[in-house]
């Protein structure tokens, strides 16, 4: 399919100009208004020197301005490079170099990081999103509107964005996502979750991650309003569901837990029709609480490299297949590969995926070729498929612990820990061990006022897990390390354990 | 986008095996059951000699068997050629030759037509859909199931079907529609009308027309049940809406009128969320009756060459823009061309369309090249776009009457006739005239017991239309000629008028 499509936001503003498009803080725009603002922003970017195929990096917080810039970059035929605001300047500098960024636009709170990261790139142009900048910065809002060419077409094969994956080991990789990848992702989601005219999808995940960006693009393609929160606040999310008509919310497990806790037992309205749960499996007690409060949780398995959701549990299976990420979305296929070939049902292996949302590859001088063979992408993640074809993700490959030749999936051990009523959060990782190669250890955040001891927790695990899976040591912590998307960073937990050959 | 997609019905049977897929007479099948039956049928077609790329013509009535064959032909990688059962044997013979059909499958009522049409094609293989055939016919149901290769993939660029357009002049043309054309058509409709899990689309149009076929394909892509009626029966359609959960119905204006009449003033349930009205504009009094009864009529403009709907009025505009076919669906664009270039808003010209549902071309030895230039297809239809971008179709180009240099659009004159309370149906066409080139004449079906005269009707028109648009003659008829899709055949009305230079 090489037919050009009309530019998405323009076409949407033509089709349904007066529908609400965006709610972000005090801002409420219809599609007509959003398209007009985006054209203005695009012309300012033109005056800033942005040209077709330029890589425009954004270091921004969630808000209307971020949404407008996402669309404005495409309007110029440039490529969007959303950056993680929680990275250190050196990490950002590495990504800017790798992607050969031409422009960097930052929010005021990130000005120092932006300037530090840009120090060694004399060619990189910087601008702030601030209306009234201080200290001689270039402010996008103060630029004139250039009479530059704008794109009325979208080529499904052209790069829309380059997103660096939050790899826990090694250098991040810039996955190139085409307009076609994003379009198919929106279609695939639509064919599973449906499209209702009154839907409003709430983005409380950062828009610089693929899961947040996908909400912005789906909104325009579907003609649905999106609600953008600057940061995750469980009370605000609950309020958006009760009062602002949010019908769909994308979260990770830790967010969902906080939403439920803040809810204090009050049921959710029936207008909430999907809580899309990414970033790894949720503990069963949490899912049971959700069922009691009428929260339609649909677990999903997605990657930056597949433009967000790849497999998602469908509404009718949500209660019957708890813990599963469902089946591949309509245009997608997956298989599980082991060392000896295709896995049998129930057998764990690498998740290998195929479909029109799969990235064409990584980019940048520091990046490697994408592991795509004949259209099949090797995710590196581990999982199995049951007799009925439902996917269960057991571990990111990097998280797998091999102890005395046995595979230990951290998620399995964490699920047992989380089933203890005193445990609020838990993370399991492997540390080097002279005798076993690796042994599992656990960082645990207890509920307030709990006096649970490591010995009690060990006994709890021993009653429920094979001996080799029982953590060799426990550490009680106040919080667990997570990335900006809320995903647990297990690798960050592997330092400082007083163990070596302790078992 | 050249990524292969999973075969649609198979993928749907994987994704939601237990959802209802098809209701047709006494038959009710889930997607799992439908996929199993289709595989069986495909293997029998294999035994019948059908191979990849063969053109398999179907001369069939609406029913489960037709639906199964539609999917089974694709499962073998063969190309579907649905034939109009109302054609004469000579017309069918012409299409079979033009498309180079290899196989013809017919329903028992069409056996004689099939045999007559096939008389001069010794290579063409015939089979009946009957379970227990008489007279030595090959019966599909009695063939063994061959161990032939079945397609698990769908290539969006491959031909899915070849459908002959019901042109009113000249030979029909076989429009080649790819899997991609049909897929995008389903997506385009979804982005306008939404996708709800509980939707059921009622097919009371023949499945051999693109509008009926599109319902079958959307059902599988969306995972929604379809309800197939053997023929249009207004009472049965109303009952399907009340009792069988039909939420979407595709009709033409004459069908809608009969539904409303059979309803006798009883409102429709709110579960009916779309009556998709194709085949030309509906008279305003009918649309007003629909509004009173809560019928959500959405006018659409579609062509065989665009795989059904191209533009459709969106739900929020249905009442505000009565008479319009709405705006192009999301992936589509249109423009209006006049002899002097692009038309201004309100100016009538040829409707020229662009999008991923547009046919790649016509096929067959007797066919002409498709009028596609740079992806833009010249429909030959006439219309205009208002200031807000809404399309109004005024005439099929073949229907245009040119009288004394003035354009007369039959639909405009018909709308006036239909606004008379005694007129039930009306059709206007042009006949040759020595002085004016052409003059309009009208065939009118009066309501029962009406004693309206031609003079009274002429006076009614004269009060409401420019003089040159007033029909030069009236003929009162019992019924109007329509094709199988219910479309008015104006050309069939042009014979036998006692006029020449009458004005």
* Residue A387's CATH number: 3.40.50.12780
Give φ, ψ of A498 to 5 degrees: -85, 45
Q: Name every residue whose Cβ is closer than 8 Å to that of residue B150 and which is 6 or more positions away in sequence.
A: B39, B42, B43, B75, B76
Residues B262, B327 within the same domain: yes
Residues B419, B476 within the same domain: yes
Q: What rounded mean pLDDT belongs to chain B?
A: 90
Q: Are A357 and A181 in contact (CB under 8 A)?
A: yes
- Taking residue B373's Cβ as centre, other Cβ atoms within 10 Å add up to 10
* Residue A161, domain member (yes or no): no
Residues B233, B369 within the same domain: yes
Tell me the mean pLDDT in the region B185-203: 97
Residues of chain B with Cβ-Cβ distance to A389 below 8 Å are 14
Alpha-carbon span A499 to A432, nearest angstrom: 9
Identify the pLDDT of residue B254: 80
* Residue B500, domain member (yes or no): no
Cα three-residue angle A278-A282-A284, rounded to 5 degrees: 150
pLDDT in tens, chain A (503 residues): 468 999 999 999 999 999 999 999 999 999 999 999 999 999 999 999 999 999 999 999 999 999 999 999 999 999 999 998 988 888 899 899 999 999 999 999 999 999 999 998 888 999 999 988 887 899 999 999 999 999 999 999 999 999 998 554 457 789 999 999 999 999 999 999 999 999 999 999 999 999 999 999 999 999 999 999 999 999 999 999 999 999 999 998 889 989 999 999 999 999 999 999 987 767 778 888 898 999 999 999 999 999 999 999 887 787 788 889 999 999 999 999 998 999 999 999 999 999 999 998 888 655 556 677 778 999 989 899 999 999 998 887 678 788 877 778 888 788 889 889 999 989 999 888 887 878 999 999 999 999 999 999 999 998 888 888 899 999 999 988 887 767 777 777 877 776 643 44
Question: Of A324, A308, A37, which Cα lies nearest the Cα of A175?
Answer: A308
Q: What is the DSSP letter of A83?
A: -
Residues of chain A with Cβ-Cβ distance to B316 below 8 Å are 16, 18-19, 197
Alpha-carbon span B311 to B295, nearest angstrom: 20
* Residue A169, domain member (yes or no): no
Q: How close B3 comes to chain A (CA, Å)?
A: 6
SS3 assignment, position B88: coil
Alpha-carbon span B385 to B382, nearest angstrom: 11
Cβ contact A184–B1 (<8 Å)? yes
Residues A390, A433 within the same domain: no
pLDDT, tens digit, for every residue of A420-446?
999 998 999 988 888 787 899 999 999
Residues B133, B197 within the same domain: no
Alpha-carbon span B22 to B229, nearest angstrom: 11
* Residue B165, domain member (yes or no): no
User: What sign does the CA torsion over A112, A117, A123, A126 have?
Assistant: negative
Residues of chain A with Cβ-Cβ distance to B389 below 8 Å are 14
Cβ contact A194–B196 (<8 Å)? yes
User: Where do the DSSP E strands lie in A25-78?
Assistant: 27-30, 55-59
pLDDT of residue B94 exceeding 50, the answer is yes
Q: Is 0.90 topped by the overall pTM?
A: no
Question: Of A200, A254, A196, which Cα lies nearest the Cα of A226?
Answer: A200
Identify the pLDDT of residue B500: 45
Question: Of A325, A380, A307, A314, which Cα lies nearest the Cα of A349?
Answer: A380
SS3 assignment, position A47: helix
Distance of CA B54 to the CA centre of its chain: 24
> How many domains, chain B?
3
Tell me the mean pLDDT in the region B451-458: 94
Residue where a domain stops, chosen among A155, A170, A199? A155
Tell me the mean pLDDT in the region B451-464: 92
Identify the pLDDT of residue A278: 87
Pairing of strands B474-476, B437-446: parallel
Alpha-carbon span A400 to B107, nearest angstrom: 60
Cβ contact A14–B184 (<8 Å)? no
Partner-chain residue, chosen from B223, B315, B330, that has the shortest CB–CB distance to A191: B223
Residue where a domain stops, chosen among B341, B366, B398? B398
Q: What is the DSSP letter of B467?
A: G
Alpha-carbon span B316 to B273, nearest angstrom: 12
Alpha-carbon span A489 to A299, nearest angstrom: 20
- Taking residue B495's Cβ as centre, other Cβ atoms within 10 Å add up to 8
Identify the pLDDT of residue B437: 77
Residue of B nearest to A13 (CA): B330
Alpha-carbon span A56 to A38, nearest angstrom: 15
For residue B166, what pLDDT band results from cuts at 50, 70 and 90?
A: low
pLDDT, tens digit, for every residue of A28-50?
999 999 999 999 999 999 999 99
Residues A191, A146 within the same domain: no
Cα three-residue angle A89-A90-A96, rounded to 5 degrees: 85
Partner-chain residue, chosen from B3, B18, B221, that has the shortest CB–CB distance to A356: B3
Residues A232, A379 within the same domain: yes
* Residue B275, domain member (yes or no): yes
Partner-chain residue, chosen from B5, B191, B197, that has the shortest CB–CB distance to A223: B191
* Residue A222, domain member (yes or no): yes
Cβ contact B184–A1 (<8 Å)? yes
Residues of chain A with Cβ-Cβ distance to B19 below 8 Å are 316
Give φ, ψ of A234 to 5 degrees: -60, -35
Cβ contact A195–B197 (<8 Å)? no
Q: What is the DSSP letter of B500?
A: S
Pairing of strands A474-476, A437-446: parallel
pLDDT of residue B1 exceeding 50, the answer is no
Q: How close A45 comes to chain B (CA, Å)?
A: 27
Give φ, ψ of B379 to 5 degrees: -75, -25
Q: What is the DSSP letter of B280?
A: S
User: What sign does the CA torsion over A350, A351, A354, A359 have?
Assistant: negative
Partner-chain residue, chosen from A3, A197, A314, that has the shortest CB–CB distance to B194: A197
Cβ contact B1–A156 (<8 Å)? yes
Residues A246, A389 within the same domain: yes
**Listed range (A217-231, A464-478, B391-405, B423-437) with the worst mean pLDDT:** B391-405
Can you give the residue range of the structural domain that contains A218?
179-398
Cβ contact B355–A3 (<8 Å)? yes
H-only helix segments in A175-252 = 179-193, 210-222, 234-243
Alpha-carbon span A117 to A406, nearest angstrom: 43
Residues A409, A390 within the same domain: no
* Residue A138, domain member (yes or no): yes
Cβ contact B195–A197 (<8 Å)? no
Cβ contact B197–A196 (<8 Å)? no
pLDDT, tens digit, for every residue of B128-160?
999 888 878 999 999 999 999 999 999 999 999
Q: Are A413 and A469 in contact (CB under 8 A)?
A: yes
Residue where a domain stops, chosen among B85, B107, B139? B139
Partner-chain residue, chosen from B11, B19, B194, that has the shortest CB–CB distance to A330: B11
Residues of chain A with Cβ-Cβ distance to B328 below 8 Å are 15
For residue B345, what pLDDT band results from cuts at 50, 70 and 90?
A: very high
Interface test with A, best of B191, B310, B357, B360 (most A CBs within 10 A): B191
* Residue B437's CATH number: 3.30.300.30
Q: How close B407 comes to chain A (CA, Å)?
A: 30
Q: Are B176 and B495 in contact (CB under 8 A)?
A: no
* Residue A80's CATH number: 3.40.50.980
Residues A217, A110 within the same domain: no
Residues B270, B193 within the same domain: yes
Residues of chain A with Cβ-Cβ distance to B14 below 8 Å are 327, 389
Cβ contact B356–A222 (<8 Å)? no
Q: Which helix (H) or strand (E) holds B238?
A: helix B234-243
Residues B110, B126 within the same domain: yes
Alpha-carbon span B321 to B334, nearest angstrom: 18
Residues of chain B with Cβ-Cβ distance to A4 below 8 Å are 375
* Residue A476, domain member (yes or no): yes
């Amino acid at each position: 399919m090489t037919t050009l499509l009309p530019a998405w936001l323009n076409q949407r503003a033509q089709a349904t100009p007066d529908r609400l498009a965006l709610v972000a803080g005090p801002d409420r725009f219809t599609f007509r208004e959003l398209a007009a603002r985006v054209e203005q922003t695009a012309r300012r970017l033109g005056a800033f020197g942005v040209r077709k195929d330029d890589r425009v990096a954004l270091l921004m917080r969630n808000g209307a301005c971020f949404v407008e810039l996402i669309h404005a970059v495409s309007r110029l035929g440039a490529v969007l490079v959303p950056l993680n605001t929680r990275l250190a300047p050196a990490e950002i500098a590495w990504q800017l170099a790798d992607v050969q960024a031409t422009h960097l636009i930052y929010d005021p709170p990130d000005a120092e990081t932006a300037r530090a990261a840009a120090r060694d790139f004399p060619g990189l142009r910087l601008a702030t999103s601030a209306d009234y900048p201080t200290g001689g910065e270039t402010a996008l809002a103060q630029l004139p509107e250039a009479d530059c060419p704008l794109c009325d077409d979208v080529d499904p094969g052209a790069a829309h964005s380059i997103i660096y994956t939050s790899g826990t080991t090694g250098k991040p990789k810039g996955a190139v996502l085409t307009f076609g990848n994003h379009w198919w992702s929106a279609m695939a989601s639509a064919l599973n979750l449906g499209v209702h005219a009154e839907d409003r999808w709430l983005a409380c995940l950062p828009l610089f991650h693929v899961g947040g960006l996908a909400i912005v693009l789906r909104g325009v393609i579907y003609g649905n309003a999106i609600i953008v929160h600057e940061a995750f606040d469980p009370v605000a999310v609950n309020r958006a569901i009760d009062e602002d008509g949010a019908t769909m919310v994308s979260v990770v497990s830790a967010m969902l837990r906080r939403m439920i806790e803040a809810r204090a037992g009050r049921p959710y309205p029936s207008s909430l029709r999907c809580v899309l749960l990414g970033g790894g499996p949720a503990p069963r007690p949490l899912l049971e609480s959700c069922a009691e409060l009428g929260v339609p949780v649909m677990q999903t398995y997605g990657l930056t490299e597949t433009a967000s959701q790849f497999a998602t549990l469908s509404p009718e299976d949500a209660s019957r297949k708890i813990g599963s990420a469902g089946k591949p979305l309509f245009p997608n296929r997956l298989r599980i590969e082991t060392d000896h070939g295709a896995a049998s049902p129930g057998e764990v292996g690498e998740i290998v995926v195929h479909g029109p949302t799969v990235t064409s590859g990584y980019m940048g001088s520091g990046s490697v070729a994408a592991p795509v063979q004949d259209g099949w992408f090797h995710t590196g993640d581990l999982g199995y498929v049951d007799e009925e074809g439902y996917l269960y993700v057991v571990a990111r490959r990097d998280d797998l612990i091999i102890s005395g030749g046995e595979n230990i999936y951290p998620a399995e051990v964490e699920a047992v820990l989380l089933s203890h009523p005193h445990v609020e959060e838990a993370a399991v990782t492997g540390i080097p061990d002279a005798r076993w190669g690796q042994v599992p250890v656990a960082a645990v955040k207890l509920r307030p006022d709990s006096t649970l001891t490591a010995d009690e927790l060990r006994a709890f695990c021993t009653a429920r897990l094979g001996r080799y899976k029982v953590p060799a040591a426990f550490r009680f912590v106040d919080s667990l390390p997570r990335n900006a998307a809320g995903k647990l960073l297990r690798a960050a937990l592997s330092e400082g354990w007083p163990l070596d050959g302790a078992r």
